[in-house]
Amino acid sequence: MTDTPAICVYCGSRDGTDPAYAAEAEALGRGLAERGWQLVYGAGDVGLMGRVARAAQAAGGETMGVIPTHLLDLEVGKRDLTRFVVTETMHERKKVMFMNAHAVVVLPGGAGSLDEFFEVLTWRQLGLHDKPILLVNVGGFWDPLIALIDRVIDEGFAAGSLAGFVQAVPDAEAALSRLGDLLEARTSATE
């Protein structure tokens, strides 16, 4: 992993029903590039994945995409990225994405995005990393997930610290601002 901040973005391979999802994906991609941060994502050229990557590229950003062989056609592997990595399995894909990022941002998405989110959240809970995890809660999309995490804690299945491992922000601009603060704090702490 380089010293240049790299942000792993998990998001849908579809656009979803609300046009705000696409707008926020594009704003996030553009914002990452404008700050000189690298986008790390699932290498698809469809749905929100394609939108975040195309916006980052259009703004001159560095992009790293990671895709398993079996999804090259389904997710239309975006081969014009700065780095395009093909893995054998989904497990390898998730590992490569996570290991090449300083933070994780989760836009709206489906089962795959939830799988990725819960894996990094579990790793954080187990003390395997301390990377920031942000949910971009466009139009309250993640409200049920946040409520579920609170319920898991309330029902005694996790310590209260679990909720502190995830930060919800309303939009891409708030995510970028929060990431800037978090990355700056980490840089200051290591100097």
What domains appear along the chain, each with residue ranges and CATH number? Answer: 13-186 (3.40.50.450)
Spatial CA neighbour of 132 closest among 176, 93, 171: 176
Residue range 55-66, pLDDT digits in tens: 999 999 999 999
Q: Which residues pair with 191 in a beta bridge?
A: none
Confidence band, pLDDT 50/70/90 cuts, at residue 185: confident
Q: Assess whether pLDDT exceeds 90 at residue 125.
A: yes
Q: Categorize the per-residue pLDDT at 1 as very low, low, confident or very high, splitting at 50, 70 and 90.
A: low
pLDDT-derived band at 191 (thresholds 50, 70, 90) equals: low
- pTM value is 0.94
Q: Helix (H, G, I), strand (E, B), or coil: what is residue 127? A: coil
Average pLDDT over residues 42-58: 96
| Single-letter code of the amino acid located at 133 | I
